[in-house]
Every structure is written in C-alpha cells, then in structure tokens.
Amino acid sequence: MFCSKCGTQNVDGAQSCVSCGTFLSASGGNGPTVSGYPGIHDIPNHLVWSILATLLCCLPFGIVAIIKSVSVDKFKSLGDAAGAKRAANEAKNWVIASVVSCVVIVVLYILFVVIIGVAASNS
C-alpha cells in the first residue's frame, strides 16, 4: 500500500504511513495510479527558485540547485517518489545555501568598506 501524501510504500494493512504518519485508508485506495504514485506530482521541483538563486545570489550553489531541481522531474517520471522528495529537499537546501552565502558576502563587504572608511578618516 502506498501513501497518498508522500508515495512511500507501506505494508498492507498499515494504518499510518511509516514515513510521514498520514492515515492510510483500509480500502486500499492509496495504491499506484496510472500516472505513477499518488501525490508524486505534488512534490515541488524548486526550479524557479534555483534559477533566481543562480542569477541573483551565488552562481556555484545555484547551478547545483538547478541540477537537483531537474533531477526531481526525472525521479517523478520514473515514479520514484522517495527519490523525488530527496532531490527536492536537496534543491531547496542548495537554494538556501546560495541565498545565505550571498547575504554573508554582502555583509562582509559592507563591514570591509566601513572599516576602510573609518581607517581612512582617522589618518
């Protein structure tokens, strides 16, 4: 029996998903569908955020985020919900790393300019 929320395979007769804890119906309506596993299309690929992070923040981290975002769609097409969720989480983490690194670099640059300005005004 597959979870309709996360797509994790559970033992037949399980009352809740071992991965996300979602209640599983006893009717078995949570099984695979024609388009793969139920809920697999609800997994976001974070591609837009990855592209924005690449263009506006940190290029190397953004490129990794784009690669992970594209792999989400690959896993979805293969019906691998667990792989798609893992790739989506990795893409999101790389986007966050890109934004955080950009903020840190900007803050360090501002501090550097202020320190240089104070040192120049004292001499």
**pLDDT 10s digits, 81-98:** 899 999 999 999 999 999
What mean pLDDT is predicted for residues 36-45? Answer: 76
Whether 24 and 56 share a structural domain:
no
Residue 34 has pLDDT above 50, yes or no: no
Count H helices and E strands in the chain, helices first.
Answer: 3, 0
Whether 100 and 49 share a structural domain:
yes
Whether 64 and 19 share a structural domain:
no
β-pair partners for 16: 23
Mean pLDDT (the chain) is 84
Whether 55 and 111 share a structural domain:
yes
- Both tokens of residue 56? 């506006």
Decide if 27 contacts 57 (C-beta within 8 A): no
Whether 24 and 77 share a structural domain:
no
Domains of the chain: total:
2
Nearest to 68 by CA among 53, 86, 54: 86
Whether 79 and 118 share a structural domain:
yes
Look up the domain containing 6 and give its range. Answer: 1-42
d(CA 107, CA 110): 5
